[in-house]
Amino acid sequence: MTAMSEIASSTPVAGETDDQAGVRPGALLRPGTLYVVATPIGNMGDLSPRAREVLSSVALVCAEDTRHTGQLLTHAGISARLMSMHEHNEAGRVDEVLRRLQGGDSVALVTDAGTPLISDPGYRLLAALRVAGLPASPVPGPCAAIAALSVAGLPTDRFFFEGFLPARAAARRARLQELAGRAETLVFYEAANRMADALADALAVFGPGRAAAVGRELTKRHETVYRGSLAEVRAAVLADPGGDRGECTWVLAGRGTEVARDDAELARVVGILAAELPASQAAGLAARITGASRKAAYRLASAQPAGQPGDE
């Protein structure tokens, strides 16, 4: 059995330090190794020098979408042989890749953006390599889940990565109910055009005061990060003219991670009143009851999904 630490770096040459091993320019790849290569999630400047070296040196690049990866490689000045490997054909491609590896070729696996296998294809291939005893080596880099966590302002010592929720509202709400008791920070992926609906369901399940963040188009030109309570974040998404375009990663505080007591009380009162009254009237009453500003109360009330009460 080959230890992962032995396959993740090249053999040092004389005079080379341990810190330099495996990252020197022009280093030869290990024969018969699958390199799992992270690629940019938006900003092309995030393609690492090692990723460039690997992608330009392997015999074959397995890509989720060869057209998308071809554009990336062209932008980086890399010429490589591409083979498609996505959720619909992965099972049929595994044996071919294994034969290439067993024959001594080095192969790279990439996804359309970010780190392969993180809500993307590749598991079947890696599982087959494990059974066959063939080596795999990570070439780490961008990952949308980690990028969003790093700027969300929520606990990161423990988190639960859920990925994409079901597209149908009833199934999505049911899955959120199953996650409601988790104490870890929750991380989700979602298309921007479904973000408002997903947040509306989260409001109904978790209440408007749960701390949240949404990262849209991370590292791209129109990158936007919304942070606040669930109600505030949803209001910001709805108010953004471009909020329904692109890709989103959203992060939700786990059970027991509450917003400030005064904010939570305002959100609770607004949630109750907004379920029965127009937003303006609910905001006015909530401000009088809690002593909060009417502006803050209205921001929460206007973000409430119709007919969905908050926590009582």
Give me the DSSP letters along 104-165: T--EEEE-SSBSTTSSSS-HHHHHHHHHHT--EEEE----HHHHHHHHH-S--SSEEEEEEP
Q: Which of 142, 173, 199 is the last residue of a domain?
A: 142
- Residue 11: predicted pLDDT: 36
Least confidently predicted of 185-189, 206-210, 244-248, 303-307: 303-307
**Does residue 285 share a domain with residue 226?**
no
> Is residue 18 situated within a structural domain?
no
Residue with tokens 């992608």: 55
Collect all residues with Cβ–Cβ distance below 8 Å to 88 and sequence separation of at least 6.
none
Q: What is the mean pLDDT of residues 161-178?
A: 96
> Is residue 311 situated within a structural domain?
no
**Does residue 149 share a domain with residue 116?**
no
**Does residue 125 share a domain with residue 150?**
no
Euclidean distance between CA atoms 68 and 81, whole angstroms:
14
> Is residue 176 situated within a structural domain?
yes
- Number of structural domains found in the chain: 3
Whole-Å CA distances, 300 to 24, 153, 198, 270, 306: 54, 20, 17, 7, 13
Residue type at 148 in one-letter notation: A
* DSSP alpha helix (H) spans, 44-89: 49-57, 66-75
**Does residue 150 share a domain with residue 122?**
no
Both tokens assigned to 239: 């108010």
Q: Which of 142, 167, 190 is the last residue of a domain?
A: 142
Collect all residues with Cβ–Cβ distance below 8 Å to 1 and sequence separation of at least 6.
133
- pLDDT score of 295 more than 90: no
Return the CATH number at 41: 3.40.1010.10
DSSP 106-122: -EEEE-SSBSTTSSSS-
> Is residue 162 situated within a structural domain?
yes
**Does residue 167 share a domain with residue 75?**
no
Both tokens assigned to 48: 């690492």
List the domain range (segments joined by +) for residue 280: 261-302
Nearest to 306 by CA among 211, 214, 196, 212: 196
What is the chain's mean pLDDT, rounded?
A: 86
Q: Which of 123, 142, 161 is the last residue of a domain?
A: 142
**Does residue 157 share a domain with residue 56?**
no
Residue type at 172 in one-letter notation: R
**Does residue 81 share a domain with residue 43?**
yes
Higher pLDDT: 184 or 2? It is 184
Nearest to 290 by CA among 270, 312, 305, 311: 270
Indicate the angle between helix axes 230-239 and 195-206, nearest 10 degrees: 160
- Residue 12: predicted pLDDT: 39
> Is residue 2 situated within a structural domain?
no
Euclidean distance between CA atoms 152 and 148, whole angstroms:
6
- Residue 27: predicted pLDDT: 54
